[in-house]
Each structure stands twice: as C-alpha cells, then as structure tokens.
Amino acid sequence: MNASYGIKSWLLTKDHKRIGLLYLATITLFFFLGGAFATLIRIELLTPQGDLVSSETYNKLFTMHGVVMIFFFLIPSIPATLGNFFLPMMIGARDLAFPKLNLLSWYLLVIGGLFALFAMLAGGVDTGWTFYTPYSTSYSNTWVIATAIGIFVAGFSSILTGLNFIITVHTMRAPGMTWFRMPLFVWAHYATSLIQVLGTPVLAVTIVLVFCERYFHIGIFDPALGGDPVLFQHLFWFYSHPAVYIMILPAMGVISELVSTFARKPVFGYGFVAFSSLAIAVLGFLVWGHHLFVSTQSVYAGLIFSFLSYFVAIPSAIKVFNWTATLYKGSISYATPMLYAFGFIGLFTIGGLTGLFVASLGIDVHVTDTYFVIAHFHYIMVGGAIMAYLGGMHYWWPKMTGRMYPEGWAKLSALVIFLGFNLTFFPQFILGYLGMPRRYHVYPPEFQVLHVLSTAGASVLAVGYVIPMVYFVWSLRYGAIAPANPWGASGLEWKTASPPPKHNFEETPIVTHGAYDYSHVIGEEVEVG
C-alpha cells in the first residue's frame, strides 16, 4: 500500500484502500465544516431574539449544515471510506471490480463539493436542504443552482460507488466465499448499494427539473402554470427517504462486526440480520409519503404510506434484538469500538422508536416540521450513523494505518460523545412536542430553557468530536505499532498485514468456514494490542 509516495501516486491511484483514505480526508473536512455551521446554529438559539446573526444568515446556516452533512458527509461516510477500504478485503478480492470508476467517484464527490463550497463562499443558499418548490425555483435569491449542481454531481459519485460494490460482491468473491459466508458488513453494503443505484437517479432528475425551472423559467412544478409543488415532494422523498437508509444500513453493518468481534461470538440470527438489511432497502422505497402527511397529499395515500412505514420497524427491531442477543453468554470486551456499539444500539433504539411516533398519522400531524422530527432523525443520523462510523474508525484504524490509538482517551471521548449527544438532542423531543417549529431563527421565550440545555449539550458533543480527531492524527506518528489482528477478529481483512499490502493478500485466500468463526482465530495465537 505504501509502495510509492508523492502526491501524484495518490491522486492517480486505483487502489481501493488509498481511495478510501482520500474519501476519509475529504469527508472529515466536510464533517467539520458542517459541524461549524451546527455550532453557529446552536449558539444563535441560546437566546430567543435572534441576536447573533440575521435571519438570512441563519437560514443559510441550517441549509448549508443540512446539505454538507447529508450529501457530503453522511452519504459517503461509511460506504466510501470503510466500505471502500474493507469490502474487497472482506470478500478476499484484490480490488473493486472497477478501480478507475472508483477513483472517478471520488473526483465526482470532490467536484460536487467544490460546487457546494463555491455556493457557500459566494453567498450561501437558503432553501433548506429539502429545496421545496416553489421557494427554491422562484423565490429564493441565493445560490440554488450552484448547490444543485454540486448535489447532482455528488449524486453520481454515490451511484457509481453503489454500482461498483454490487458488481464486486457478485463477481469478485474469493473461492469458497459463498453468499452466506459473507460478513454482515458486506450484506449491509450490498443493500445500501441497491438503494444508491435505484434511488439516486430520481434525485438527479428532480434536480435537473428544478435547475431547468429556475434557469429557463419553465414551470415544471410552478403552481402559476398549473404545476404541482407536491409532485416535487414525491420525487424528492422517493430518493431522500431511502437516503436515510443509505446512511444507517452501513452503520448497522459496522455494528454487526463490532458486536461479534467484541463478544467473540457469531452474530445471533445471522440470516435474519442479513435479510433484514435487504428488507430495509426494499421497504424503504415504499414509505416516502410519510413525509407528506400534511402536504395536501391525499388522505388515502397517507394511510397507505403510514401502514407501510410500520413494516420497516420489523427488520430494524430484528437487528436490535439480534445484536443484544449476541451479547448473551459472550465474552464481552470493553474496547472503545464496543463502547460505540453499545452507544449505537441504545441511541438507535430511541431513534427508531420515535420513528414509530412520526409514522403514526395522528401524532405526525402535530410533530412534523417541529424539533421532534429534528431530534428523531439526529438520533438516527448522529446517534446511529456517526456513532457507528466512529466505532468503525476505531476498530479498523489499526488496520488502515498500522498504528494503535490511545485507548484511554478513546474511551473518554466515547463517553463524552454519548453524554453530549443525549443532552443536545433529548430536549429537542420535548421542544418539538411543545410545538417549537423547525428552521426558526427567533422563537417564543418559553422554549429558551430547553434550547439552552441543547446548546450546552452541543458544546460537550463538539469537544467529544475534536478529541478523536486529535489523537487519531497523533497516533499516525506516535501510536503503538499495530499487529495484524489486535482484536482477535475473524474477518479476512485481519488475516493480512496492518496496513495491508497493495494487493491486500499475499495469495488469494480460500474460505472454508462462515463469517465469525472464532475457533480458528482464538485457537491460534491471540495477539493483544
């Protein structure tokens, strides 16, 4: 992997591991950019009057926070970094099926990101990340088109990554690596890729239509010409609801790996967990209308969408129960990745259960577009996806870099993040039910106490995110040298050196047993990191 050096060898690399690291650098940048926007939002909301920034600026802040976090951090986060790095290794392949396409995907994300950054530097965009028409097409005076192009281009990055993963899983598995011997991480990424491939093009065409409407003033969704703004919402959410699963499914894949490794037991109900990923991917496409319950969508359509939404609860519940059951009679280690996994299961449970609230028509009429929904999806996206991402980062950091991170600091930051997160977002559930609408720059004074609590939590959370950033960078130079398999894990990626050689394995591995068979690992020498 470190065969050659120099910027050119990185920018023209076709090695999936290096591309994964390029993604890692890119999305880390975007994460802290989005985090900076979030910080400003939380500081602004300390007081009800809106005295830090103007309303225009505030609206731009939450829009850019959403755009950056969703399209440039969460969507590529786990698949494009950890997935890129480990999916081929886990199935015993030398690389993805289309290495050049993989590099192209990274460039597309960067180009899309540059468009978005340009829009931000030029003055920002204020439509909300949802770009609802006719506000986005006819009324906003901000940089909608540049942002839209950025998202369009980044969308193709996502499509091509998904395509690459699907083909890789189908055609590149090592001898003996049957479908039901694949790690659940791979299953989860396969399901994610299906969503990326089937959903993202619809977002792309929606953006094209919004672009045409705004630039050429032709009215596809313009009510003045007889267009239907709710049609935009259908097209938008056809992608953007499944997009939530693009973010959370890979996280679930990571958690399956962590729970198994640190309980040193196969995941309970492997088949159920594997198929629940596919079920979530499929069902995720049938429920988008639950974002439209008060949009003037038909009552009957609302009924169907609400009903189907509850079906997503089943595979999600199956996963949570099976992870918990995996702990039963295990050998549970308290290594940092496992702490993140515990955090994930707890927070995802709360996020998932509050999802039942918003799927219920009667409750959703009240809580939609309030802080309740904000809290709900942050429990899934931050409490779920980011916890899993950090857990995965700690788990695979030794493999990616060949260095160990400092365990004490890592445990501390995991705790700080868990506490800070709950303090930030739990009050928002209450705020929402009390009626605090989202995207409000100024708000009635009775909501201030809860907002202050939330901001206090956000500061704790921010500290929690900076600590790993510091010690990860520190460990690159000063961390202990990592052995090949510091955790006693069973995946193929641990059967090669840390960091892995250019073609991953000295010779193509031949798989003879299912994933999570620890008798082969522990029977040999257990190395302790």
Partner 1 sequence: MTGHVDSVKTYALVFAALICLTILTTGVAFIDLGPFSVVVALVIAVCKMLLVALFFMHVRYSTKLTKLVVSGGLLWLGILVLFTLADVVSRGWVGVPGR
Partner 2 sequence: MAPQVDHLLYYLLAVATFFTLLIFVAIFYFAIRYRRRSEKELPHAVHTGMALEIVWSVIPFGLTMIMFTWGADLYFRGSRPPDNALQIYVVGKQWMWKLQHMEGRREINELHVPLGRPVKLTMTSEDVIHSFFVPDFRMKQDVVPGRYSTLWFQPTKAGKYHLFCAEYCGTNHSRMIGWIYVMEPQDYQTWVSGGSGGGSLADAGGKLFESLACANCHHPDGSGRCPTLVGLFGRNVLLSTGHVVKADEAYIRESILQPNAKVVAGYQPIMPTFQGLVTEEGVVQLIEYVRSLNPKPVGAEGSGQMPALTPGVVPGSQRPRVGTAGPAPKER
Partner 3 sequence: MANHAQAETLALREQFDTAEQQKDASTLGMWIFLITEVMFFGGMFLAYTVYRSKYPVTFAVASTSLNVYIGAFNTVVLLCSSFTMVLAVRAAQLGKRRAIVLFLILTLILGFMFLGIKAFEWNEKFQEHHIPGMANFHLEGVPIEQQGQAQLFFSLYFAMTGLHALHMVIGAGIVSCLAWWAHKGKYTAEYMTPVDVGGLYWHFVDIIWIFLFPLLYLIDRHLGKWVS
Q: Which span (230-238, 301-309, 336-344, 474-482) binds partner 3, by CB under 8 A? A: 230-238
What whole-number distance in Å separates Cα of residue 156 and Cα of residue 110? 11
At closest approach, how far in Å is the CB of 369 from partner 1? 16
Backbone angles phi, psi at 45, to 5 degrees: -80, 5
Sequence-ordered list of residues with C-beta below 8 angstroms from that of 170, at least 6 positions apart, any chain: none
Task: From 372, 327, 329, 376, select the one nearest 349 (Cα to Cα).
Answer: 376
353 binds, among partner 1, partner 2, partner 3, none (CB under 5 to 8 A by kind): partner 2
x/- site string to partner 1, residues 158 to 177, per CB under 8 A?
Answer: ------------x-------
Q: Are 330 and 263 in contact (CB under 8 A)?
A: yes
Q: Are 269 and 325 in contact (CB under 8 A)?
A: yes
Specify which residues 481 forms β-bridges with.
403
What whole-number distance in Å separates Cα of residue 427 and Cα of residue 151? 32
Q: Which span (71-79, 146-154, 227-235, 255-263) binds partner 3, by CB under 8 A? A: 227-235
Nearer to partner 3, 304 or 466 (CB): 304
Site for partner 2 in 24-53 (CB under 8 A): 50
At closest approach, how far in Å is the CB of 234 from partner 1? 5
At closest approach, how far in Å is the CB of 492 from partner 3? 16
Q: Which two tokens stand for residue 10?
A: 């990185």
Of the candidate residues 363, 419, 456, 466, the single one contacting partner 2 (CB under 8 A): 363
Q: Which two tokens stand for residue 198?
A: 């089937």
x/- site string to partner 3, residues 484 to 513, per CB under 8 A?
Answer: ------------------------x-----
Q: Are 350 and 379 in contact (CB under 8 A)?
A: yes
Size of the site for partner 1 (CB under 8 A): 22
At closest approach, how far in Å is the CB of 202 from partner 3? 5
What whole-number distance in Å separates Cα of residue 220 and Cα of residue 217? 9
| Amino acid identity for residue 73 in this structure | F
Q: How many CB atoms are closer than 10 A to CB 152?
A: 22
Of the candidate residues 119, 146, 345, 462, the single one contacting partner 2 (CB under 8 A): 345
Site for partner 2 in 430-449 (CB under 8 A): 433-435, 437-444
At closest approach, how far in Å is the CB of 374 from partner 2? 12
Is there binding between residue 361 and partner 1 (CB under 8 A)? Answer: no
x/- site string to partner 1, residues 238 to 277, per CB under 8 A?
Answer: x---------------------------------------
At closest approach, how far in Å is the CB of 127 from partner 2? 8
Task: From 135, 116, 113, 153, select the one nearest 59 (Cα to Cα).
Answer: 135
Site for partner 3 in 98-117 (CB under 8 A): 98-99
Q: Which two tokens stand for residue 25?
A: 């650098």
> Cα 261 vs. chain centroid, distance in angstroms?
22
Site for partner 3 in 71-100 (CB under 8 A): 93-99
Task: From 9, 105, 113, select the one nearest 97 (Cα to Cα).
Answer: 105
Element (H, E) at 326: helix 299-327
Site for partner 1 in 274-293 (CB under 8 A): 285-286, 288-289, 292
Q: Looking at 12-83, list the stretches that DSSP marks H as alpha helix, in order from N- to C-terminal side.
A: 16-44, 55-67, 75-76
Is there binding between residue 145 and partner 1 (CB under 8 A)? Answer: no
206 binds, among partner 3, partner 2, partner 1, none (CB under 5 to 8 A by kind): partner 3
Determine the angle formed by the axes of helices 229-263 and 387-401, rounding to 10 degrees: 50
ω into 76 cis (within 30 of 0)? no
Q: Which span (7-15, 81-89, 218-226, 231-239) binds partner 1, by CB under 8 A? A: 231-239
User: What is the phi-psi region of residue 128: left when phi exceeds 0, alpha when psi lies from -120 to 50, beta otherwise?
Assistant: left
Task: From 107, 28, 98, select the one nearest 68 (Cα to Cα).
Answer: 28
Nearer to partner 1, 66 or 289 (CB): 289
Element (H, E) at 473: helix 448-478
Nearer to partner 3, 228 or 369 (CB): 228
Indicate the DSSP class of residue 78.
Answer: I
Nearer to partner 3, 75 or 198 (CB): 198
Backbone angles phi, psi at 398, to 5 degrees: -60, -35
Is there binding between residue 166 and partner 3 (CB under 8 A)? Answer: yes
Is there binding between residue 200 and partner 3 (CB under 8 A)? Answer: yes
Is there binding between residue 208 and partner 3 (CB under 8 A)? Answer: yes
Site for partner 2 in 107-136 (CB under 8 A): 126-128, 130, 132, 134-135
What residue ranges in 82-155 does DSSP mark as E strands?
none
At closest approach, how far in Å is the CB of 219 from partner 3? 6
What does R_g of the chain's alpha carbons equal in angstroms? 23
Positive/negative CA dihedral, 329, 492, 382, 461? positive
Residue showing tokens 């010779």: 507
Q: Which span (113-121, 231-239, 401-409, 423-431) binds partner 3, by CB under 8 A? A: 231-239
Site for partner 1 in 292-321 (CB under 8 A): 292, 296-301, 304-305
x/- site string to partner 3, residues 168 to 187, per CB under 8 A?
Answer: --xxx---------------
> Which residues contact partner 3 by CB under 8 A?
93-99, 159, 163, 166-167, 170-172, 197-202, 204-206, 208-209, 212-213, 216-220, 222, 224-228, 231, 234-235, 508
